[in-house]
Structure 1
Amino acid sequence: MQTSKITRIAVVVLVLLFLVLSVISCSTHTHVHNHSAPSGKKIPPGQAKKMNGDKSAKAYAPGQQKKR
């Protein structure tokens, strides 16, 4: 009777240990996308707008830039 309790407790402890180790070993990976132009070319205003999630390409068009 006593060994049955010890065996049951040991099984519960081993299952809990397995679950804890499984959760701890999980990892996440974050991928960062580099949205630079290939080989130094300028990006068209429409593409720059899409990459930044804006609604208008006016801010990216060279003729629409304000001089400081």
Structure 2
Amino acid sequence: MKMFKTPRFTATLLAAVFSLSLSNCAVSVGTSHNTAKAKPLPPGQAKKITGQKSAKNYAPGHNK
């Protein structure tokens, strides 16, 4: 069997290993939504979720 030319074979092998190593890198772009402060639910939305008739219990500033 004929031997490969050493410099050319080495260069091809190095290029293949380099391209495989770059293809395995994972890059994620974007921002995380967990760092932002979440807004509290409005009283009407909380009432709808729980199924109650009044939103008075979910309005902290109203004391009637």
Question: Relative to total residues, which structure has the larger helix share, 1 or 2?
Answer: 1
Identify whether the pair has TM-score above 0.5, normalized to the shorter chain.
no
Query: Which category describes the TM-score, using the shorter chain as reference length?
Result: 0.3 to 0.5
TM-score, length basis structure 1: 0.42
Larger radius of gyration: 2
TM-score, length basis structure 2: 0.44
